[in-house]
Amino acid sequence: MGWIRTALARLGLRPSAAEVPRPRLRALERRLGYRFRDPRLLAHALKHRSYVYANQCDRVDSNERLEYLGDAVLDLVVADHLFRRYRDRREGDLTQMKSLAVSRALLARRARAMDLGGHILLSPEERAAGGADQDSILSDAFEAVIGALYLDGGLRPARRFVEAVVLHDMEGLVDGEDFVNFKSKLLEHVQGQGEGHPRYQVQGERGPDHDKVFSVDVSVTGQTIGRGQGRSKKEAQQMAARDALQSLGEI
């Protein structure tokens, strides 16, 4: 326990489990499949900034720092899993697969499946506005929980949780429509903003004919919003659309 307190002090975390009844924490631990040595970490992962502000606490008391850490751990675990599992996939494919696995929409779906929204601490106003079911709040809390798992037990429990909850149906996701539909998603978003159609333009190509790499930019109303590379123009366009969606905060 001493090393946990030392790590918390170094990270500037000041968790308290007082706001979360112990039975609720235990119920969530059962859903996570992990018993925390320091349950204050899990309680900290559940504190949305609206709750912190409503209780006149410092912003550092929210779950945002744990979210930052959990995001990095999630990226590492997913990238490592995909690299080892899909040995015949190219870098561009692996990048698309990782983007799907860690997307806000998918993480929010995972969070709903474990009823995480019912455990997140929100201000009364945020909860009344439906914050407990908002994709951004759910996905952020999900990543914060991963950060808490990592701090409490190291990489092993964090990896076990991510593989069991995030990556268990990766095959179905890869075969699904979402994996190849970044262009459609971008088109839907742009048209929803009343900005016409995205325009894709090849900026260059390199390599021999049998192993070319294309570079593509995508622009809206004359402004470049994404760039991508791929072994074909279609793949490069998909990567450019993914990059644009990421920069727009849509994945």
Q: Any idea which residues carry the catalytic annotation?
A: 71, 143
Q: In Å, how far from its chain's centre is CA 247?
A: 14
Q: 3-state class of 214 per DSSP?
A: strand
| Distance (Å, whole) CA 236 – CA 240 | 6
Tokens of 237: 């366009």
Query: In this structure, is the dihedral angle defined by the CA atoms of residues 219, 220, 224 and 225, taken in order, positive or negative?
Result: negative
Q: Minimal CA–CA distance to 41: which of 163, 167, 158?
A: 158
**Identity of residue 51:** Y
| Distance (Å, whole) CA 243 – CA 240 | 5
| Residue 40 CB neighbours (<10 A) | 21
Question: Dihedral through CA 204, CA 214, CA 239, CA 173, nearest 10?
Answer: 180
| Distance (Å, whole) CA 32 – CA 34 | 5
| Distance (Å, whole) CA 221 – CA 198 | 8
Q: In Å, how far from its chain's centre is CA 175?
A: 20
